[in-house]
Amino acid sequence: MRITFGAFVLDGDSRQLTRAGREIHLTPKAFEVLVALAEARPNVLSKVELQQRLWPETFVAEANLSNLVAEVREALEDVARSPMFIRTAHGFGYAFCGVAADVKRGLRSETAGPACWLEWGGHRFPLALGENVIGRDADLEVRLEGTTVSRRHARLMVTALGTVLEDIGSKNGTFRGEDRVTGPVPLMDGDVIHIGSLRTTFRVRGRAASTETLGTAARRSRTARQPVGRRSRE
């Protein structure tokens, strides 16, 4: 099993959870919890089912399972009261509630090359699979020159199934259209992205632009209108 959800990729065969190509550590039991819930999605797994899978023919306190679920949520930066990925079915068990899609083996080689890019004025920045950081620093994948652009401003995380935009603590903010980016935001071809006061456009080539998994949320709030009079705070 290999699935992508949000900015994460979960690979059951290699026993890896990654975000933008970087591995996120989980203890073996916590990893098993995540795999079990992802495989059963969107169905709820009872606490009894999970305990039998994790500790077959062994009695353990229920708190052990709760601690593992808490570890998974911490790794995914998920919040129990407003979950994006792991939902609690009170008094019964847990379920994977995030939007996820299976990734076929070999898809990475099929999408080799600049399948997507960022345009700024007359510049075109090809985006590679994994993390592409935007900012003023000279060694970044997408270097933009402007007083409203932070040294490390935002990042585009490209997977075989789509691209997600995140702000990384910039001073003047990152916007998709008129919406300020406060968490991971999926992108579609033609989305306008403001890096501080600079206007850029996200582009996707060919059939990659038809991705539905990450595009559904983006379609609801996509806008091509440029904000007027955005002021720098630097």
| Sign of the dihedral defined by the CA atoms of residues 17, 22, 24, 25, in that order | positive
pLDDT score for 168: 94
Is residue 219 predicted with pLDDT exceeding 70? no
pLDDT score for 234: 41
Of 131, 138, 222, 219, nearest to 168 by C-alpha is 131
Of 190, 174, 186, nearest to 230 by C-alpha is 174
Mean pLDDT of the chain: 83
* 34 within 8 A of 9, measured Cβ to Cβ: no
* 118 within 8 A of 201, measured Cβ to Cβ: yes
Question: Looking at residues 19-37, what average pLDDT do you find?
Answer: 90
Is residue 7 predicted with pLDDT exceeding 60? yes
Give the pLDDT confidence of 112-145 residue by residue, as tens digits: 445 899 999 889 998 887 788 999 998 888 999 9
Greater confidence, 210 or 54? Answer: 54
Neighbours of 233 (CB within 10 A): 9
Q: Which amino acid, 59?
A: F
Distance from CA of residue 66 to its chain's centroid? 25
pLDDT score for 22: 78
Is residue 38 predicted with pLDDT exceeding 90? yes
* 26 within 8 A of 70, measured Cβ to Cβ: no
